Amino acid sequence: MVTMVALGQALVHAQALGLERLDAQLLLLHALGRMPHDRAWLLAHDTDVLLPEPQSVFKESVLRRTTGEPIAYITGHKEFYGLDLQVDARVLVPRPDTETLVDWALELLANAPTATRVLDLGTGSGAIALALKSVRPDWHVVAVDNSAAALDVARTNARRLQLDIACIQTSWLQALQGDFALIVSNPPYIAERDAHLYALRHEPLTALVGGADGLHALRHIASEAPRYLQPNGWLLLEHGYDQAKAVQTLLTAAGLQAVQSRRDLAGTERCTGGRHP
């Protein structure tokens, strides 16, 4: 027999199990079939009874969250650059930090003509590619990933959002042709023995780990991407909080000019880019 509880009581119980209040609220809204921005509604209805079916969903969600599973995997959704993306364990959860990369790309190509070709390497859920396409529907955006499972997620998001991007399965730049005005990437950049990996254990390691020093993918892209850039085309890379200098060195060694880094909202140098001569 299910014990009837009020919404407020359910939240208190979830917090007693170790959940942050915001996490508990988001999971309860999900169980109730309400939108994430309805937190004020919860406060106004904290004495409402939580019916058996949503109570069951909420309990299961809370248990999953206590193991460290991301809320986005539990709810199946994550907002990125104003887009509602479907996500699951096949792809990384899009982070707000990555919006820095999107902002920079749009700024650099603000006056780019129609049919400008843009490439997103390691697209995962399609977050970067779809964000760019949503702002510049006139661009030709290509999204690449080595994982067929990840590309399924990207294609699903593209169909849901009615954003026409080209999805190609290949390892980084292999099998690609033509010149791009812009190449962007959020590649794996965490060192394989980094202590932070435990907190990310529910997400695909192949999209997180960049070799012994975390620079394996960044090193490969920096050396290969310039050959696929148009004259004056840009390469923009997201990287770890302490990797800006290393990535600047890689881009300079690859012959790129105007090499510089951009900070995220927390003030961390999060992205580094350079221009093809």
**Chain segment 62-71, per-residue pLDDT in tens:** 999 999 999 9
- Percent above pLDDT 90 for the chain: 95
If pLDDT is split at 50, 70 and 90, which confidence band does 2 have? low
Helix pair 7-16, 52-66: axis angle to 10 deg: 20
Please report the domains of the chain, with CATH numbers, ordered by start residue. 5-67 (no CATH), 88-275 (3.40.50.150)
Residue 202 reports pLDDT greater than 90:
yes
End-to-end CA distance of the chain: give it in Å, rounded: 71
Tokens 């937190």, residue located: 39
Torsion sign (Cα): 31, 35, 40, 45: negative
Each residue's pLDDT tens digit, 228-259: 999 999 999 999 999 999 999 999 999 999 99
Beta bridge partners of 213: none
Closest CA to 102 of 187, 9, 170, 186: 186
Residues 107-121 have pLDDT tens digits of: 999 999 889 999 999
Q: Express each pLDDT in 121-147 by its tens digit.
A: 999 999 999 999 999 999 999 999 999
Q: The tokens of 197 are what? A: 């990996």
**pLDDT value for 40:** 93
